[in-house]
């Protein structure tokens, strides 16, 4: 019961943010880049035709009415029609979405599979070789451009070694390079946070008690350290969803991976404003929803937060 | 008389504090070395204003895509332009744009954070709503959306990157302000009838300046990556301007035959961003050791 109430409250609180985001996208697309009707009609169209399109789209009405219109069509799940393809925007997005989801999941799995053991090991043995490698990975993630890593991987594995395909999504092998690229975006921070939170838990009293009780090292690490260190790790994974989406836009473009990120860049080059607007809004929606989910998971694994939040909600 | 003595002692203590910070920073070998690496790159870019080995815009297809040689130290690009010369000139765009935008973002963001945290109430609510909306966009997506809307160009890049960076500063500064605003010395200043702005500048700002400096160093590294990513995607400074990211973007077609065209600009971006991040680590340990967990690299 309390969980449901917390959920309702959390969703309720994100509504103003959502309206703000809608307004922001509306301003970006409708107000700034000139005349959309002229864009649709083309540069050679007659003024009457442009005027007709303007009326069809409702662009001749006051801005606030246009905004209310925009919000109400969005609420109906209608993202408009793509200027380039003529198909509903939501269809284009849903068609490409599975590719992005698969890419993001595989990248996240690789990142966690590398970052957790590395972070824990380097926390347990500071100044060792593992700890040294950890710092390097953490720095590479924060300092190397994603698109450059992607090109280096393509050069090494596709051009020189001829081991893996460099673009497209025809076979499961096609996902390897883009997923590794995207995982490197996440791995650095994840490793660093894992290490620092494990170090912090290691110095706490309950671990000292466990050591004093003579428990085995492995039991201490798994039962007492990891469980508590998981809280900041899950938090950072939530914070990183933004990096994941941003990284996916660039990674998908380099590897011609047919997800919504490369669809966005394509739409930008076709000047397909309804499609651009739809994808941006969709990504923001996904981002807000995932953040809510992360907050709930967060509250669930940390009993202190769970008690406080759920009691007051 | 006594007042003067106290003031003198305070200024002496401040000087001593600064020297200690510098000593701590210098003792961090990686951060100290990074400072010199960064200075070397900045020198190279500054020299680019007066001298480059070749004209960075002069193309000559007969010498296109040459690998590094004594004549062209870093080789030539797809149009036969000297890559070293282009990197020297391009740096002013990549580094310059990042620098101006992060400074702008930090000033706007910190001011909003100060006002929001200090005055609270309705102002706080409004500012926090704006920040919520900005943070509802993944940073790269926000920057891309702004570039699409504003059109390519230097000014658009500066606007896009500063809008993408300010919310973090607002959150950061507001957090610190909320911690100190109820301290006794702030209450004392209020009782003495000091104006709000006097209290903000004299008593609150000194507390937030360290985290701002550290965050700025990290953000400089981050915005170099962001600016060059936008350039790579063709949304940044339009060609033929040799912005580092767009150099990679236009050279990637020739990755198979002439990888050096994308390798060198990437190396420059990485070394610059890496230096900012390592300097940031050093500054954090020197200025604000408590915040190890709090401030984050990107």
Quickly list H helices, chain A.
Answer: 2-26, 36-41, 47-57, 63-75, 89-124, 129-143, 146-153, 176-202, 205-212, 217-219, 227-239, 241-255, 260-270, 273-301, 303-312
Cβ contact A155:A80 at 8 Å: no
Of A143, A148, A200, the CB nearest to B274: A143
Chain A, window 251-290: residues with a beta carbon less than 8 angstroms from a chain B beta carbon:
253-254, 264-265, 268-269, 276, 280, 283-284, 287-288
Mean pLDDT of B261-284: 93
User: What pLDDT, on a 0 to 100 scale, did the predictor assign at position B293?
Assistant: 46
Cβ contact B93:B60 at 8 Å: no
Residues from chain B contacting residue A189 (CB–CB below 8 Å): 296-298
User: What pLDDT, on a 0 to 100 scale, did the predictor assign at position B25?
Assistant: 87
Q: From residue B211, give the alpha-carbon distance in Å to each of A66, A293, B135.
A: 43, 30, 20
Interface contact flag, B133 A21, Cβ < 8 Å: yes
User: What pLDDT, on a 0 to 100 scale, did the predictor assign at position A53?
Assistant: 77
Question: What percent of chain B is modeled with pLDDT above 90?
Answer: 53
Q: State the average pLDDT for chain B.
A: 89
List the domain boundaries for chain A.
10-75, 95-312
Interface contact flag, A16 B129, Cβ < 8 Å: yes
Does B274 touch chain A if contact means CB atoms closer than 8 Å? yes
User: What pLDDT, on a 0 to 100 scale, did the predictor assign at position A67?
Assistant: 86
pLDDT tens readout for residues A86-116 = 899 999 999 999 999 999 999 999 999 999 8
Does A115 touch chain B if contact means CB atoms closer than 8 Å? no
How many beta-carbon pairs below 8 A join chains A and B? 142
User: What pLDDT, on a 0 to 100 scale, did the predictor assign at position A126?
Assistant: 77
- Is the confidence at residue B290, as pLDDT, over 70? no
Of A20, A145, A154, the CB nearest to B228: A145
Among A246, A248, A282, A295, which would you mutate to test the B interface (most chain B Cβ atoms within 10 Å of its Cβ)? A246
Mean pLDDT of A66-90: 86
pLDDT tens readout for residues B47-86 = 999 999 999 998 888 888 888 998 888 989 888 899 999 9
Residues from chain A contacting residue B148 (CB–CB below 8 Å): 28, 33, 268, 276
Mean pLDDT of A186-210: 83
Among B94, B148, B272, which would you mutate to test the A interface (most chain A Cβ atoms within 10 Å of its Cβ)? B148
User: What pLDDT, on a 0 to 100 scale, did the predictor assign at position A212?
Assistant: 81
Residue B98 to residue B117: CA distance in whole angstroms: 27
pLDDT tens readout for residues B96-118 = 999 999 999 999 999 999 999 99
Domain boundaries A95-312, corresponding CATH code? 1.10.3720.10
User: What pLDDT, on a 0 to 100 scale, did the predictor assign at position B296?
Assistant: 46
Residue A256 to residue A154: CA distance in whole angstroms: 12
Does A3 touch chain B if contact means CB atoms closer than 8 Å? no
Question: What percent of chain A is modeled with pLDDT above 70?
Answer: 91
Q: With bands split at pLDDT 50, 70 and 90, how would you rate the model's confidence at A312?
A: very low
Of A10-24, A292-306, B243-257, give the lowest mean pLDDT range. A292-306
- Is the confidence at residue A262, as pLDDT, over 80? yes
Residues from chain A contacting residue B270 (CB–CB below 8 Å): 143-145, 148
Residues from chain A contacting residue B229 (CB–CB below 8 Å): 145-147, 250
A293 Cβ contact list (under 8 Å, min separation 6) = none
Does A11 touch chain B if contact means CB atoms closer than 8 Å? no
Chain B, window 126-155: residues with a beta carbon less than 8 angstroms from a chain A beta carbon:
129-130, 132-133, 136-141, 144-146, 148-151
Interface contact flag, A155 B259, Cβ < 8 Å: yes
Interface contact flag, A243 B235, Cβ < 8 Å: no
Q: Which residue of A has its CA nearest to B221?
A: A143
Mean pLDDT of A36-50: 73
Mean pLDDT of A55-69: 80
- Is the confidence at residue B229, as pLDDT, over 60? yes
Residue with tokens 């880049």: A33
Could you write out the three-class secondary structure of A249-299? HHHHHHHCCCCHHHHHHHHHHHCCHHHHHHHHHHHHHHHHHHHHHHHHHHH
Mean pLDDT of A118-143: 83
Interface contact flag, A21 B144, Cβ < 8 Å: no
- Is the confidence at residue B298, as pLDDT, over 50? no
Mean pLDDT of B178-190: 87
Of A139, A151, A192, the CB nearest to B252: A151
- Is the confidence at residue A79, as pLDDT, over 70? yes
């Amino acid at each position: 019961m309390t969980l449901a109430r917390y959920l309702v409250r959390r969703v309720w609180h994100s509504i103003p943010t959502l309206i703000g985001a809608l307004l922001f996208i509306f301003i970006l697309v409708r107000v700034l880049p000139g005349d959309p009707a002229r864009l649709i009609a083309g540069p050679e169209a007659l003024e009457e035709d442009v005027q007709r399109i303007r009326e069809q789209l409702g662009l001749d009405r006051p801005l606030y009415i246009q905004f209310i219109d925009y919000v109400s069509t969005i609420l109906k799940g209608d993202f408009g029609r793509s200027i380039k393809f003529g198909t509903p925007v939501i269809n284009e997005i849903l068609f490409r979405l599975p590719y992005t989801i698969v890419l993001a999941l595989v990248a996240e799995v690789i990142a966690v599979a590398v970052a957790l053991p590395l972070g824990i090991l380097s926390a347990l043995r500071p100044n060792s070789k593992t700890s040294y490698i950890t710092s390097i990975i953490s720095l590479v993630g924060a300092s190397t451009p994603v698109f450059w890593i992607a090109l280096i991987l393509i050069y090494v594995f596709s051009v020189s070694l001829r081991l893996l395909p460099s673009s497209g999504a025809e076979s499961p092998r096609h996902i390897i390079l883009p997923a590794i690229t995207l995982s490197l975006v996440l791995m650095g921070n994840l490793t660093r946070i894992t290490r620092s939170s494990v170090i912090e838990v290691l110095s706490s009293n309950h671990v000292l008690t466990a050591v004093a009780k003579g428990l085995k090292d492995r039991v201490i690490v798994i039962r007492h350290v990891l469980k508590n260190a998981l809280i900041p790790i899950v938090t950072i994974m939530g914070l990183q969803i933004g990096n994941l989406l941003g990284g996916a836009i660039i990674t998908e473009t380099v590897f011609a991976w047919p997800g919504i990120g490369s669809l966005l860049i394509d739409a930008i080059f076709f000047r397909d404003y309804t499609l651009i607007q739809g994808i941006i809004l969709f990504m923001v929606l996904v981002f807000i929803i995932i953040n809510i989910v992360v907050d709930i998971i967060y509250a669930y694994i940390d009993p202190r937060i769970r008690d406080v939040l759920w009691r007051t909600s | 008389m006594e007042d003067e003595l106290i003031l003198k002692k305070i200024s002496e203590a401040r000087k001593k504090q600064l020297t200690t910070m510098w000593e701590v920073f210098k003792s961090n070998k990686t951060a100290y070395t990074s400072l010199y690496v960064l200075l070397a790159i900045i020198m190279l870019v500054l020299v680019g204003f007066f001298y480059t080995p070749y004209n960075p815009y002069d193309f000559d297809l007969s010498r296109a895509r040459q690998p590094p040689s004594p004549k062209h130290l870093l080789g030539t690009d797809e149009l036969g332009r000297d890559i070293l010369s282009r990197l020297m000139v391009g740096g002013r765009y990549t580094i310059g744009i990042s620098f101006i935008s992060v400074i702008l973002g930090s000033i706007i963001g910190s001011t909003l954070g100060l006002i929001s945290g200090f005055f609270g109430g309705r102002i706080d609510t409004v500012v926090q709503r704006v920040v919520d909306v900005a943070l509802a966009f993944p940073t790269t997506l926000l920057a891309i959306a702004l570039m699409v809307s504003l059109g390519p160009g230097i000014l658009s890049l500066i606007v896009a990157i500063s809008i993408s960076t300010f919310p973090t500063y607002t959150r950061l500064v507001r957090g610190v302000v909320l911690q100190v605003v109820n301290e006794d010395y702030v209450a004392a200043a209020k009782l003495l009838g000091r104006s709000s702005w006097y209290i903000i500048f004299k008593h609150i700002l000194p507390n937030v300046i360290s985290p701002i400096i550290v965050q700025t160093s990290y953000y400089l590294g981050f915005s170099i990556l962001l600016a060059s990513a936008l350039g790579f995607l063709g949304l940044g400074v339009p060609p033929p301007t040799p912005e580092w990211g767009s150099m990679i973007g236009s050279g990637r077609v020739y990755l198979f035959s002439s990888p050096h065209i994308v390798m060198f600009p990437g190396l420059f971006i990485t070394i610059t961003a890496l230096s900012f991040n390592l300097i940031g680590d050093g500054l954090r340990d020197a200025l604000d050791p408590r915040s190890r967990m709090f401030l984050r690299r990107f």
